[in-house]
Amino acid sequence: MEKPVTGDTLLEESFRRAGGKRSYVQRLFARIARVYDLLNRLMSFGLDRRWRAFAARCLALGPGEIGLDLGAGTADLSIAVIQQAGPGARMIGMDITPEMLDLGRRKLARLGLQDQIELRVGDAEHIDLPDNSVDGCCSAFMMRNVTDLRQTLREMLRVVRPGGRMVCLEISHPPGKVLGALFHFYFYRIAPLFGAIIGKAAEEYRYLPRSLTHFPDAPTLKAIMEEIGWSAVHFHRLSGGIVAVHVATKPTPASQAGSETGASKVQPPSA
């Protein structure tokens, strides 16, 4: 008896034809790069800017510190971090898609931030930086797209200095049946129409909701982060739980002895 053709089956076949998930994701974002920012604004009703601003406040990069933005794309999160950071702070933004980074560099030039934010091609699963070399690490809407989630979290832990912070902004599974059903209908049925009509990218925007299907919910992602070795892990649900911001700290010798850093005092936005 033949297996039924499902969304997962089609996605796996797309990965196979592209030579793996990494290659598929890279090509996908290369194709939608020119409309990525516009579609983000439209599909989130402008809330994505508030979500990134909140994530930047959670990272709280201090004066002279260096932050790392993985899956930096067009640099929106890096910009949000620098706009709230202390004097002399710098960001390194990495992404596997050069086309997204090219758009990000143009954005930085317009804002006069090219000296504070460096964008480079790089892989979140194999970060080309020394151990303990950055003061904080962040990502926005990247974790669903990696091939190996645990490897990515291990790499983030490796490059962040002891006592440094990691912040992850990601689409999540809203709690509650009613909101969950509404979100599912919008994310799986309506949002792809934006990609098809505005971006001429129907296939690409069908992938984005499918990428959430097997992604862990917020409590499970917290447990995975703790399993990897992050400490003081907690999360904030924003906009009814359609996104979650996870915040964690790399243990110091003192915290490993039993004195962990407490949870972030940053208050989430009202929507």
pLDDT at 2: 37
Mean pLDDT across 150-162: 99
List strand residue ranges (DSSP E) for the chain, in order: 66-70, 90-95, 117-121, 134-140, 160-171, 231-238, 243-249
Mean pLDDT across 50-69: 98
Fold of 7-252: Rossmann fold (3.40.50)
CB atoms < 10 A from the CB of 158, how many?
A: 16
Cα separations (Å) of 186 from 41, 179, 181, 263? 15, 10, 9, 32
pLDDT band at residue 249, thresholds of 50, 70 and 90? Answer: very high
pLDDT in tens, 122-143: 999 999 999 999 999 999 999 9
pLDDT at 107: 98
Q: Is 56 helix (H, G, I), strand (E, B) or coil?
A: helix
pLDDT band at residue 238, thresholds of 50, 70 and 90? Answer: very high
As given in the structure block, the two tokens for residue 220 are 């499970």
Among the residue ranges 45-59, 92-106, 169-183, 213-227, the one predicted with the least confidence is 169-183
- Selected residue with higher pLDDT from 112 and 254: 112
The pTM for the full model equals 0.88
Mean pLDDT across 20-40: 91
pLDDT at 7: 47
Mean pLDDT across 228-243: 97
Q: Does residue 9 surpass a pLDDT of 80?
A: no
Mean pLDDT across 55-71: 98
pLDDT at 89: 98
Place of tokens 């996870």: 246
- List the helix and strand counts (H, then E) for the chain: 11, 7
Domain residue extents for the chain:
7-252
Q: Which of 66-70, 254-258, 265-269 has the highest mean pLDDT?
A: 66-70
pLDDT in tens, 176-204: 888 888 888 888 888 777 777 776 666 76
Q: Which of 97, 79, 93 is nearest to 29 (CA)?
A: 97
Q: CA 219, CA 234: separation in Å to the nearest integer?
A: 9
